[in-house]
Amino acid sequence: MKYSDEIIQRVKDATDIVSVIGEYVPLKKAGNSYKGLCPFHSEKSPSFNVSPTRNGFHCFGCGKGGNVITFVMEIEKMPFPEALKLLAEKAGIVLPKPQEDKKDLEAERVRDRLQALNEFAGKFFHEKLLSTEGQAARDYFKKRGFTKEDALKYLVGYAPAGWDSFKNAGQKAGFTPSELLSGGLIVHNDEKNSDYDKFRNRLMFPVKDNYGRIVAFGGRMLGEDAGPKYLNSPETILFKKSECLYLLEAAREAIRQKGFVLVVEGYFDALALHHFGFENAVATLGTALTSQHGRLLKRYTTEVVFSYDADAAGQAAILRGFEPLVVAGLNIRVLVMPDTKDPDEYLTKHSKEEFEGLLKQAPGFFRWWAQSLKKKFQGSPVEERTRALQGFVPMILQIPDEVSVQAACAAIESELGLDNRDLLTIVNTERKKGTRRSFAEREETPVAKEAAAIPAQKGSDKFDRQIEADFLALLTEERGEFVPWAVNELSPEVFQSENFRQLFEELSSGDLKPEQLNQVPELEASFIRIENQSEKKHREAMLNDLATSLKKRYFKRQLAELKDRQTEAEKAGNTEQALQFAQQMIVLKRQYSQEVESK
């Protein structure tokens, strides 16, 4: 689905990029631009820049950049038309009918139909809960301590026990079997060549995206039928388990206000916390926490409090969840419930105030972990307790900042009755080895899998392009005053990028005006980078430094090429040619010394 360039530009011009991005990232003024911590990767020092004058953003850490529309697309995982519509609504602009593109229109139609199906299903299940058919489900919900108001507020529903209740209702409403299958709401039986409802005789929990749209469902078994106690929707074009958390859309404001998020394991735990006023709670959807979850939560807070089941499985889940959250730059605490299994059970036995007390006392992750191992090492010799420290090292090596590392080491040694900073010494020794082992050495986590999937890149290539882009971007300053000097100082051959080399050639010949470089997308990050070099002398100094770097690289490439040719000539027994290459290298080194090292 396409919109004209004119309307797209109109939406961009009417949108305050600082205001929009500021809803997701705390920004601080820095010269002519704004800086903050990047929402797309974990970092402790801000490298994320937003330029209101250029109406763009760029992160110098991970390389992501673009305009306000691409930001919304990336942060909200939205297709272009939806992001444009969202920003147009905020700006009070009515979008005209888009230019038709059959492929885009079909993709949009499929998404719209699936969204309509989910909304229909949510309403269907909810109405069934409130009907006479849902009496047993309502009784169970009430027995768990919830009210009708909870069911209404969170659109809790009931999937009837029959094999085709929803299928029949969906088809009657105009949805095709193919659509019902793609939405994961019915299942096909190959042997009988028939379709049947995926959710049967279950209490239903709708899962929503950040805009309150239903994207999936979770169902809790009510009877004694065969099957899992909890059943979740399969992944679809609208739903990815690794990117969704139950009740996040309802918890966002409370998370921001309270300064932390409570992460629990189940639908009932999250609902119970919301019921008792702890509306900053969210739940995972039957899957381990991922790096996407970490980045998602980092939009709203810097602290996570785990409130998982107190059994061994719950503790193991907390250990698995540590890495993706700490890598995202989140602080982690663990709520310890002394006499119950989970938050839902605790709140039925204790008061809200007692739960708040536990929250305030919730220890940091490493203190909690050391406390859980304390009994094992009680009465053990100091040597044995010291050896136990080695087990903490792989996870401590994941912590990005030094202060947190020291705090973690101190907490662990304190809990184990050690006070000699042995753990910090071990960690520093591992760092010197270049070790940054993952706790997932025994079990690969989503973070490790993602890292392994990223193709290796030459760091110098990225740096080389940055130097060339910065140099060209500077040539637009002072109304192109620097161009004659640059053309006299450098030849196009110093540019490794074919595109940048061509741009410099066109500048040299006068076929390209300096101001036209403003329209080159590859230079956008450079324009934001140099935006705060407000004084001419600073820009001149920067230009000189970049020109020197370009020359150095060019001379080194030439020397390397001559060295390779000399080696090949020697291998071929061509002594005379090898000597010629050696002489050329001497001349080139002398030239390098005169033109570069003397400056």
Q: What's the pLDDT tens digit per position in 356-390?
A: 999 999 999 888 888 877 777 776 777 777 777 77
Tally of residues, the chain: 599
- Cβ atoms of 215 and 184 closer than 8 Å: no
Instruction: Answer with the residue of higher pLDDT: 593 or 48.
Output: 48
**What SS3 class is residue 584?**
helix
Distance separating alpha carbons of residues 191 and 68, to the nearest angstrom? 51
- DSSP H helix total and E strand total for the chain: 27, 15
pLDDT value for 506 = 86
Per residue in 414-433, pLDDT (tens digit) is 887 777 677 888 888 877 77
Tell the residue number behind the tokens 């299994």, with chain if given.
341
Q: Over 90: is that where the pLDDT of 130 sits?
A: yes
The pLDDT of 243-270, averaged and rounded, is 92
Token pair of 287 as six digits: 């899957």
- In this structure, what DSSP letter does residue 556 have? H
Choice between 119 and 74, residue whose per-residue pLDDT is larger: 119
The pTM of the full predicted model, rounded to 2 decimals, is 0.64
Q: What is the pLDDT of residue 42?
A: 77
Q: Would you call 407 exposed, middle or buried from its count of C-beta atoms within 10 A (0-12, 13-18, 19+)?
A: middle
Place of tokens 């306000």: 68
Report the candidate in 306, 368, 295, 362 with the shortest Cα–Cα distance to residue 329: 295
Distance of CA 452 to the CA centre of its chain: 16
CA distance 182 to 235: 9
- Closest to 157 (Cα-Cα) out of 181, 137, 180: 137
Query: Residue 403: is its pLDDT beyond 50?
Result: yes
pLDDT tens-digit series, residues 305-343: 999 887 778 888 888 888 889 888 889 999 988 877 789
Q: How far apart (Å, rounded) are the C-alpha atoms in residues 84 and 104? A: 14
Would the pLDDT of 458 be above 70? no
Query: In the chain, what's the furthest Cα-to-Cα distance?
Result: 100
33-61 mean pLDDT: 84
Mean pLDDT of 503-531: 80
Q: Which residue has the tokens 């590859």?
A: 522
d(CA 539, CA 543): 6
- pLDDT per position as a tens digit, 562-592: 888 888 888 887 877 877 787 787 777 777 7
Nearest 10 degrees: CA dihedral of 316, 317, 320, 324? -160
What band does 533 get if pLDDT is binned at 50, 70 and 90? low
Question: d(Cα 469, Cα 503) in Å, to the nearest integer?
Answer: 10
What is the Cα–Cα distance from 246 to 264, expressed in whole angstroms?
10
Provide DSSP, 244-256.
--BTHHHHHHHHH
The DSSP element (H or E) to which 188 belongs, if any, is strand 186-189
Contacts of 141 (CB under 8 A, 6+ apart): 129, 150, 151, 156, 203
pLDDT at 392 over 90: no
**CA 548 from chain center: how many Å?**
37
Q: Assess contact for 186 and 180: CB atoms under 8 A.
A: yes
pLDDT tens digits for 442-457?
Answer: 333 332 333 233 233 3
**335 vs 515: CA distance, rounded Å:** 58
Average pLDDT taken over every residue of the chain: 83
Three-class SS of residue 31?
coil
Handedness of CA 367, 370, 372, 375 (dihedral sign): negative
Confidence class of residue 61 from pLDDT cuts 50, 70 and 90? Answer: confident
